[in-house]
Amino acid sequence: MQPDLDFLTPAYVREFEPYVPSKPDAELKKLYGCTRLYRLNNNENALGPPPAAREAIRNFPSFRGALYPSGDSYYLRHEIAARHGLHPDQIIVGNGANEVIFSVIKAFCTTGDNIITADRTFAVYEWVATFSGIMAKLIPLKKEGFDDEEMFRAVDSRTKIIFLCNPNNPTGSYWGTERLTAFLTAAGGRRIVVVDEAYCEYVEAADFPDGMKLIADFPNLVVFRTFSKMYGLGGLRIGYLAGAPEVVDMIRRTCLVYSVNGIAQEAALAALRDDADHIRRSRNLVRSSRAYLREELGKMDLPVITGEGNFLVVRLPGSDTLAYRRLMKEGVMIRPMTSFRYPNHIRVTLAQPEAMEAFVAALKRLLSGKVAG
């Protein structure tokens, strides 16, 4: 007898449109007939992990594959805490940022509650809330940035969490220290403010706030960070959050233990201890690639949205999804932005000169009509 899925499955799960990941690179190259694929779609660090992290991965003893890892990422939590003047119990490490997003929503939200975030930002806040049966209120961006006034207007008695991506993915906009601290003060203790700093290591703006330093003054603040972007460990799935002890204690109750594998923990620990030169080289690469693309895209009269982070957004004169398919035939993989509510825009990861030149050349051919659909 077939299971009665209409009865078994909540409506908010049945009605949720699942995310469909792209195929592996080898399959994509066969599908689109290209021999080389430049991955400019996921904001990955073109330099890869720091040298010490690579060494930790190479030297990870194979016999440890049979052993469970530290269930709470003990040594990594201590290293993160020491760096930021926090207690290790104020840190939770998860299997990528997605897991810590899930844990925060599960800790504080129940049926009838809502979260607030922007309409054009990292979509996982909205997704996790929606498939958990929690309403997501999406506030339109204002001048490509978060609109604090409209976010507060949307707050009601059932608002539990406000999600801010700082700097924002995909626009690169950010709130400076004064604006963020004013927002945290106004939010008060009746709701949690999550500040997602996934791209903070790329930021060079002098007024950019360090969320970790604000935790002592704002116990309603939870900060997300990741090893997937600057540290180049996206394939190992490891991220973390930090907050006030009593807040993190509640979140920890919803976390899965042993969810972060041993290699990821070792690589992340090594990355933190060897990051100064890696961050410098990564920032230099992003800075030069951004300048190159802005110049080349300007010559094509294409509007660009860019700020902080290792990416920029380009407005095209036509369909972004069609551009994706045609650029794939040229061996260039970008992110179409319709799913971010930016139709006719694409997001491009800032990468090595070879990849940037390949993208520009392919885009020129696309716009001149020389690439078949």
112 three-class SS: coil
| Three-state SS at 222 | strand
From residue 283, how far is each of 91, 176, 205, 279, 309 by CA, in Å?
A: 26, 19, 12, 6, 9
CA distances in angstroms from 323 to 59, 195, 369, listed in the order given? 42, 33, 11
Note whether 244 and 219 are within 8 A (CB): yes
Strand order in the sheet with 335-336: 304-305, 311-315, 345-349, 335-336
**Whole-number pLDDT of residue 1:** 86
The secondary structure of 44-57 as a DSSP string is: --TT-S-HHHHHHH
Q: How far apart are the first and last CA of the chain?
A: 45
Please choose, from the candidates 169, 118, 119, the residue with its C-alpha nearest in 3D space to the C-alpha of residue 308: 169
> Exposure pattern of 210-245 as b/e (b: 16+ CB <10 Å)?
ebbebbeebebbbbbbbbbbbbbbbebbbbbbbbbe
SS3 226: strand
State the virtual CA torsion across 176, 181, 183, 186 in degrees, nearest 10: -160
What's residue 373's pLDDT? 57
Cβ neighbors of 326 (< 8 A, separation 6 or more) are: 366, 371, 372, 373
Q: Identify the CA nearest to 194 among candidates 106, 101, 98, 256.
A: 101
CA distances (Å), origin 43, targets 80, 137, 311:
23, 26, 6
Residue 20: predicted pLDDT: 84
SS3 240: strand
Model pLDDT, residue 97: 86
Amino acid at 207: D
pLDDT number for residue 370: 63
Task: Identify the residue whose tokens are 């080898």.
Answer: 26
Parallel, antiparallel, or unpaired for β 135-139 and 221-226? unpaired
Q: Is the pTM of this model over 0.75?
A: yes
C-alpha closest to that of 176 among 148, 209, 210, 149: 209
DSSP 8-state class, residue 315:
E
CA–CA gap between residue 238 and residue 346 (Å, rounded)? 26
Q: Which of 153, 160, 166, 75 is nearest to 110 (CA)?
A: 160
Q: Which residues contact 315 (CB under 8 A, 6 or more apart)?
A: 302, 303, 304, 305, 344, 345
Backbone angles phi, psi at 128, to 5 degrees: -60, -40
pLDDT by 10s per residue, the chain, length 373 = 889 888 999 998 898 888 888 899 999 999 999 999 999 999 999 999 999 999 999 999 999 999 999 999 999 999 999 999 999 999 999 999 899 999 999 999 999 999 999 999 999 999 999 999 999 999 999 999 999 999 999 999 999 999 999 999 999 999 999 999 999 999 999 999 999 999 999 999 999 999 999 999 999 999 999 999 999 999 999 999 999 999 999 999 999 999 999 999 999 999 999 889 999 999 999 999 999 999 999 999 999 999 999 999 999 999 999 999 999 999 999 999 998 999 999 999 999 999 999 999 999 999 998 665 5
Rg (CA), the chain: 21
Q: Please, what are the domains in the chain?
A: 5-48+276-367 (3.90.1150.10), 51-272 (3.40.640.10)
User: Residue 208 gets which letter from DSSP?
Assistant: -
My answer on whether omega of the bond before 140 falls inside 30° of 0, hence cis, is no
Confidence at residue 349, expressed as pLDDT on a 0 to 100 scale? 98
Pair of tokens at residue 324: 């994706």
Cα gap 272→238, rounded to integer Å: 13
**What's the pLDDT score for residue 16?**
86
Residue 335: helix, strand or coil by DSSP? strand
Q: For residues 325 and 46, give the distance between their C-alpha atoms in angstroms, rounded to a whole number.
A: 22
